[in-house]
Homo-oligomer: A and B are copies of this chain.
Amino acid sequence: MKTTYREAVRAALRDALETDPRVFLMGEDVGRYGGAYAVSHGLLEEFGPERVRDAPLSESTFVGAGIGAALGGMRPVVEVMTVNFSLLALDQIVNNAATLHHMSGGQLSVPLVIRMATGAGRQLAAQHSHSLECWYAHIPGIRVLAPATLEDARGMLPSALRLPDPVVIFEHASLYGMEGDLADDAGAVELDRAAVRREGRDLTCITYGGSLGKVLAAAAELAREDISAEVLDLRSLRPLDVATLVASVRRTRRALVVDEGWKTGGLAGEVSAVLMEQAFYDLDAPVARLCTAELPIPYAKQLEDAALPRVETIVAAARALLPAR
């Protein structure tokens, strides 16, 4: 059926609320308002205020309450409106959610799903344009997912809800309006493997989330120049599916990592370092990174555009990786 990324996430939420009485939603404006990105629109009316809970502006506490509710036998789905506000909840996520299973010697588990919108590109300026997926991907004890397709928007949530440990799901805000076809019986997806979104021979473009569309567009453009780019979607940011990355790069012998996060200390560097360790002798050129320029994201369109990875810059970076011809 024709649907959108937004509707796919909503369908996943509705499905979870219908099938599991332990599931409830909690977050700012998920109820009456219908969700800052209208993802949970209609769910309050359908499931009532006990299971669709509008939270006050208290990120640290409602995320921590999600942890406690998970300890108490529930399956909370907490929406932190955007990654920008999740900084206020990091202590709960890093020091409690990620550690309790371990610190308790395995007695406790925290089956908590935290969803948040991420990314830039809508002229929201420095405080509302973060991409901090790499921070979360650094933390042992949590899983980090980045659905970039309708299938994953629909399927990652139910799969995450089957896991006994905390999962953080990043939804790039620019994807909510993405339209496409989704199988009527679409549901849970596997979470462990990166996906080859386009096959290619000459280089591997590795990306995730909101950048996938740009990279696929770049690959199409490169094809017109007879450059065959394979496009890999990481899907899971922690753990990384290193085997799939390495297998692809062993074939193409060249890799470009595209990440909307800042370059220094970001996820692209991790991918590059992993390829250094496991594919060094198969590389015909150094792994290249194309990331966001290192400045707070500016409001002005031309400045923001210049700061973020774009199809043209991806194409140029890919060309630069290949031997001159």
Contact = CB atoms under 8 A, between A and B. Distances in A.
Interface residues of A, number: 54
Contact of A95 (B84, B266, B281, B289): B84
A168 interface: no
B127 A99 contact: yes
A285 to B, nearest CB: 8
A277 B271 CA distance: 13
Interface string A290-308: 0000111010000000000
Query: Copies of this chain, how many?
Result: 2
Contact of A135 (B95, B130, B135, B240): B135
Interface string A259-275: 00110111111101111
Interface in A93-119: 94-95, 98-99, 102-103
A70 interface: no
Q: Which of A94, A103, A262, A273: most chain B Cβ within 10 A?
A: A273
Contacts of A217: none
A147 interface: no
A98 B297 CA distance: 11
A287 B264 contact: no
A126 B262 CA distance: 28
A73 interface: no
A140 B276 contact: no
14 contacts: A87-B91, A90-B90, A99-B296, A132-B138, A134-B265, A135-B265, A138-B265, A138-B266, A139-B262, A140-B262, A140-B295, A265-B265, A265-B270, A276-B286
Interface of A: 60, 84, 87-88, 90-91, 94-95, 98-99, 102-103, 125-127, 130, 132, 134-135, 137-141, 238-240, 261-262, 264-270, 272-277, 280-281, 283, 285-289, 294-296, 298
